[in-house]
């Protein structure tokens, strides 16, 4: 048996291609599915099954996309809710044989009612499981969220998750390798470890959540501060009814400056500039939103909407496919095209650009001491515990659109985050909404700390 992990950057999503001899299955595929087809070809294997661990909230599943290319593959997911697509409604304890592999389906509700783990045994050696795909039930150093189905039922789902872990996952045995659906940086956990695999025994010993009693576990879940993004419901809906096939999309267009200028003014159209924050601050197309390519997978669902039509400003045309993949993974399929020759072509055509101030860290501190600024910290709630700049306003990027009305548009405003990426996105959103003077310390809070400047503990 061979397990190949497929990492989707930005979302910190982990999917898996598993094969034994000529037979293979895939766990939680993403929508851009060529990677699984390539693995099948390289290993001379046929994909027989596509297993989903749950109805995901933070990305759109690629099961239908994969089945469209491999019609004989069977999509399986839990029988706990009614999906409008798929082949197999899998019951708790159901077993599926594939060559020498035996896959046991384990319903582990808590994160969602339909959460499933898949324990796999290599029967050519033993009937004991050797690996379990834990979805969002158990991560490295963390466990799944319990607030996504209904925030008012967080405690109730926490109790259910506690039982699932202790009664169904841990008894599989300390030797069993765990492969979760997410790694560090995912919004599906508060403190997921950097390592992307573990064993049940290691987690039993080192994962703080597994050492808690039921009451402490539930209370800590109630106290956990994690973001709730509007796009979660969009993904949940598509993952219930089945997302449209990507072959139904319009092809991406290369837009000359004249057409781009016409298209960018349409109300539903959004210009996304994926260049690095420094380049964006030095000069950008007025009204564009900064979303650095390396973070677009994370930012897309936080600040954009699925009914918008997207136009791109790229460093290179070769980045278009990557940029589009980040959007389709969260179900944002309306990608119109990209500006031919990028910002250079825009300038050569005689069009204006706008710029924003990039504050040096020491300069920012001096201005704060003398004049006072409107500092907006756009990190996630759980990040504030590591310290905030005195008198800064805490508005996570995920909430900025709805809460920017609480800020003074006429006051000099500085957005800040650890590295300048999210804060540049935030600054572009504020400027687009009429803030008169906006800037960013592109070195971010990392540089603030390195300079030994004070932070207030929350």
Active site positions, annotated = 417
DSSP-derived secondary structure letter, 452: T
286 in the Ramachandran plot: left (φ > 0), alpha (ψ -120 to 50) or beta? beta
- Three-state SS at 317: helix
Computed from CA positions of residues 146, 398, 321, 250, in that sequence, does the dihedral angle turn out positive or negative?
positive
**Nearest-angstrom CA–CA distance, 255 and 239:** 32
Percent of the chain as helix, strand, coil, to the nearest 5: 35, 25, 40
DSSP-assigned states of every residue in 239-279: HHH-PPPGGGSPPPEEE-HHHHHHHHTSTTEEEEE-S-HHH
Instruction: Count CB neighbours of 6 within 10 A.
Output: 18
Among 59, 44, 48, 49, smallest CA distance to 12 is for 59
CB of 387 within 8 A of CB of 456? yes
Please give the order of strands across the beta sheet that includes 13-20. 2-8, 13-20, 23-27, 46-51, 74-78, 88-90
**Nearest-angstrom CA–CA distance, 65 and 33:** 7
């Amino acid at each position: 048996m061979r397990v190949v992990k497929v990492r989707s950057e930005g979302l910190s999503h982990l999917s898996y291609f598993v094969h034994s001899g000529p037979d293979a299955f895939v766990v939680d595929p993403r929508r851009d599915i060529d990677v699984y087809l390539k693995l099948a070809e390289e290993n001379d294997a046929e994909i027989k099954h596509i297993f989903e661990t749950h109805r995901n909230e933070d990305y759109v599943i690629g099961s239908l996309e994969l089945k469209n290319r491999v019609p004989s593959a069977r999509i399986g997911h839990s029988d706990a809710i009614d999906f409008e697509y798929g082949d197999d409604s899998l019951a708790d304890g159901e077993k599926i044989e594939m060559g020498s592999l035996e896959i046991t389906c384990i319903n582990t509700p808590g994160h969602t009612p339909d959460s499933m783990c898949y324990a796999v045994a290599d029967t050519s050696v033993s009937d004991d499981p050797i690996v379990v795909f834990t979805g969002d039930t158990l991560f490295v150093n963390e466990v799944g969220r319990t607030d996504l189905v209904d925030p008012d039922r967080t405690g109730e789902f926490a109790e259910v998750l506690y039982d699932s872990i202790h009664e169904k996952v841990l008894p599989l045995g300390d030797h069993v390798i765990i492969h979760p659906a997410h790694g560090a940086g995912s919004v599906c956990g508060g403190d997921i470890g950097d390592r992307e695999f573990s064993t049940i025994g290691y987690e039993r010993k080192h994962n703080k959540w597994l050492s808690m009693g039921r009451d402490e576990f539930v209370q800590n879940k109630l106290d956990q501060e994690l973001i709730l993004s509007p796009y979660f419901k969009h993904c949940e809906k598509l993952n219930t009814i089945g997302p449209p096939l990507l072959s139904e999309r319009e092809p991406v267009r290369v837009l000359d400056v004249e057409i781009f200028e016409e298209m960018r003014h349409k109300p539903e159209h959004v210009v996304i500039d994926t260049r690095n924050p420094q380049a964006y601050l030095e000069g950008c197309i007025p009204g564009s939103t900064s979303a650095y390519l390396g973070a677009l997978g994370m930012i897309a669902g936080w600040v954009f909407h699925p009914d918008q039509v997207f136009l791109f400003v790229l460093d290179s045309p070769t980045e278009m496919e990557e940029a589009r993949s980040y959007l389709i993974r969260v179900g944002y399929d309306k990608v119109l095209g990209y500006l031919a020759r990028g910002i250079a072509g825009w300038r050569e055509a005689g069009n204006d650009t706008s710029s924003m101030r990039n504050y040096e860290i020491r300069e920012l501190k001096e201005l704060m001491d003398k004049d006072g600024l409107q500092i907006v910290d756009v990190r996630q709630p759980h990040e504030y515990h590591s310290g905030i700049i005195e008198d800064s306003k805490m508005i996570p990027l995920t909430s900025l659109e709805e809460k920017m009305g609480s800020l003074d548009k006429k006051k000099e405003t500085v957005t800040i985050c650890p590295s300048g990426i999210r804060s540049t996105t935030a600054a572009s959103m504020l400027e687009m909404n009429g803030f008169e003077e906006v800037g960013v310390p592109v070195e971010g809070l990392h540089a603030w700390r390195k300079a030994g400047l004070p932070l207030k503990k929350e």
